[in-house]
Structure formats: C-alpha cells, structure tokens
C-alpha cells in the first residue's frame, strides 16, 4: 500500500507531468486563463488519464503482449485515448454546455495531449500492473489539474497587477510557468523511487 501511495504522490508533485516532465503544455497555457475553465479541464484530464492508464495497461498486458503485437502499442494507445476523449466530450456537452463551450478547441486537444500518451508509455516502461497504473494515472491527472489551477489563479491575479508593457501577455505567462516549474523542483527529494 505504501508503494501505491509513493506512486500517487510522486505523480502529483515530484514528477508532475506539466511542471517537471513538460508534457501537456498546450492545454496548460491555453486553458489557464480562468479558474472555472481550468477546473473543468482538470476534471476532464483526471478522468481521461485515470481511465486511459487502466485501459491501455490492460490492453497492453492482456492483448498485445500475449499475441506478440507490441509494435502496435502506440497506435492502440492513441485509439484508446481518442475514444475516451470522445466519451468525455459527449458527456460534458450534455452535463455542462457552458463548460463545453468554454473549453472550446482544448477539449478535443486532450486526444493529442502528449501527457496522456506519455502516461500510457510510462506505465509500460515502468512495468506497472493495473492497480499501479490506476494510481499513477490518477496522480498524474491530479497533478495536471493542480498545475492548471495554480496557473489559472496566478493569471487571474496578474490581470489586476501592474505588469510592464514588455512583459504583458505571453511573456509574463511563460515566466510564471517557469517559476512554477522551479517551485515544483523543491518536491524532488520528497519521495525516493
């Protein structure tokens, strides 16, 4: 049980997909303008990462490995992720049309989010079983949502700040992302894998 907690905590803080692995930067920068939108995207990513982690792990270990079709793992993972994102898109459009419209193009971009494909590939590389894959996926999703929410909160505050003209817009956003990344480096000694 302790090992599962270490995997979970490590995925959230120590090896945060956005701030330490630099995966999923496009939605991180694009959807982090408002906290409400970031929260919605964070929930969608948590769902997709957790479920994709489990499904890709099961397909890899129960289908691809026994049939010696390992060369199909990337294509298979992409198909699973695309299917899960379609499911999220359909559900979100029915449950919360306002959030669906607010997320706009970034919702379908979850399909091409390298963080989710990276998660599936890391599960294979690390040799996680199904339970470990669930904890890793859930932790990675929560870490992604945490980074998104922190960035959104800071960007909302920056709208009220007196930012020099040369730093307004993308410049201050990238500087903020870099500082957040440095802050998350402070967690690097938290757990030993």
- The contacts of residue 134 (CB under 8 Å, 6+ apart) are 50, 53, 54
Q: Give the model confidence (pLDDT) of 69-92 as tens digits.
A: 999 999 999 999 989 888 888 888
Q: Quote the pTM value.
A: 0.88
| Digit-coded pLDDT (tens) for 91-120 | 888 988 887 887 777 777 777 678 899 999
pLDDT of residue 193: 57
Q: What are 15-63's pLDDT values in tens digits?
A: 999 999 988 888 888 888 889 888 888 888 898 899 999 999 999 999 9
CA distances from 156 to 30, 32, 34, 38 (A): 13, 9, 6, 11
CA atoms within 13 A on the CB side of 81: 27
């Amino acid at each position: 049980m302790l090992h599962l907690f270490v995997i979970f905590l490590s995925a959230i803080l120590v090896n945060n997909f956005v701030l330490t692995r630099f995966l999923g930067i496009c939605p991180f920068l694009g959807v982090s303008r408002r906290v409400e939108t970031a929260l919605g995207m964070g929930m969608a990513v948590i769902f997709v990462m957790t479920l994709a982690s489990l499904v890709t792990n099961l397909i890899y270990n129960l289908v691809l490995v026994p049939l010696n079709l390992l060369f199909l793992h990337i294509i298979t993972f992409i198909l699973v992720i695309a299917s899960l994102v379609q499911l999220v898109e359909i559900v979100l459009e029915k449950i919360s049309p306002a959030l669906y419209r607010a997320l706009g193009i970034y919702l379908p971009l979850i399909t091409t989010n390298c963080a989710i494909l990276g998660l599936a590939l890391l599960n294979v590389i690390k040799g996680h079983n199904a339970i470990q894959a669930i904890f890793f996926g859930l932790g990675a999703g929560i870490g992604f949502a945490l980074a998104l929410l922190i960035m959104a909160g800071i960007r909302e505050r920056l709208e009220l700040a007196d930012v020099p003209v040369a730093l307004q817009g993308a410049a201050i956003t990238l500087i903020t992302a870099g500082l957040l990344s440095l802050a998350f480096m402070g967690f690097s000694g938290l757990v030993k894998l």
